[in-house]
Amino acid sequence: MLSRFDDYPIHQTPEPVAQVATSDRNAYDRYWFNGFAADGEFYFGIGLAIYPNLRIMDCGFSIVRDGEQHAFHASRRAPLEPSETQVGPFRIEVVEPMKRLRVTIADNETGISADLEFTARTACIEEARQTLRRNGKILMDATRFTQMGRWQGTIRYAGKTVQVDPARVHATKDRSWGIRPVGVGDPGGAPATDLPEIFFLWAPLQFKDRCTHALVFENSHGHAWRQEGMILPQYGSPAEVPGIEDPRTEHFPRVEHHVKYVPGTRRAKSAEIALVGWQGERKVITLEPLLCFRMKGIGYTHPTWGHGVWHGELVVGSESWKTADLDETALENQHIQQVMRATMDGEEGIGVMEQLAFGSYLRYGLNGFLDPAK
């Protein structure tokens, strides 16, 4: 089946662009964004993905503010045209690739709507390919790029209006694609004999004239199967951002971390990240949490609105909860991002640290599959 993209010289296989190159049911292609106020007043997350072999497209928007988190969810049969990035009232529009995007949620029955424009302040950061096997089977094989910027626009929810001012609302954009577990578990076959284990930290941070990025994937013994860090310039406007990649980006081959947890949780009380250079030089960043966002608000590990789950031809829903009422030990509440006040070289910045720890992690005394920190 042909699509608009087939008119461009971008083909990677002999198939039309709409025909994904793998038959793996877990193939996906995702947009993901966050936005957060510099003083930690609020955080919002945005996601949209297509699962071409499942024929599903879903999306989510969620905001945490004043001790409450509100979430919009929607799902549909995937369109045949891959450039159609819309699910009911939710739409993503690429205004200028790698520079500007627009996210809108038209007025709808959930009472959650938005009109937001992302503008880039850095070049794109291509993370190294992330491949993970479990018992010989590909569990994850994905490419991702990250970009920092600002948001401008308006959010409405629960009868409230939030003005999003680019002078104080920072942004992270994340595009990833490949294979990652989605939807219901694989049907048939022998059942797994062990529980999955993963320790993941992901921390894009913004300072006045530069940004840092750190990524860590480790197993339960602290062995890193993927880690990388960067420092790159931040620019005043999208027009100043140089091309796709910035030649002034400084790469660090190793990332060290030290996390102190809130007792009874797997949520950071404080953290320190060190970017370690080729000659052993270290850039140390201290992190102080300001606000916590549950990633289930945009589908991650959500018991109902999980990614790639069939709900019907077009279904829209919403939910809200008090953050203080959440069960910190529940599976659905483990995947989080915390807005962090960051300090490096005496300079203060702002950003997030994403955390996901399933299974034991001996270094920090995390035992069992979800046992909390002492």
Best CA proximity match to 148, nearest among 264, 236, 18, 63: 236
Question: How high is the pLDDT of residue 138?
Answer: 86
What value does the mean pLDDT take over residues 235-241?
Answer: 95
Question: How high is the pLDDT of residue 136?
Answer: 78
Question: How high is the pLDDT of residue 134?
Answer: 81
Domain range annotation of the chain: 4-184+195-364
**pTM score of the predicted model:** 0.95
CA dist., res. 143 & res. 207, Å (int): 26
Out of 3.30.300.130, 1.10.3720.10, 1.20.1300.10, 2.40.370.10, which CATH number does the structure's domain 4-184+195-364 have?
2.40.370.10
Q: Which tens digits make up the pLDDT trace of 308-348? A: 999 999 999 999 999 999 999 999 999 999 999 999 999 99
Question: How high is the pLDDT of residue 6?
Answer: 86
Question: Quick check: 287 pLDDT over 80?
Answer: yes
CA dist., res. 166 & res. 161, Å (int): 16
**Confidence grade of residue 295 (pLDDT, cut at 50, 70, 90):** very high
**Phi and psi at residue 181, in whole multiples of 5°?**
-60, 125
What value does the mean pLDDT take over residues 36-52?
Answer: 97
Question: Quick check: 195 pLDDT over 90?
Answer: no
- Distance from chain centroid for Cα 143: 13
What value does the mean pLDDT take over residues 231-250?
Answer: 93
Mean pLDDT in the chain?
Answer: 94
Question: How far apart, in Å, do the first and last CA atoms of the chain sit?
Answer: 55
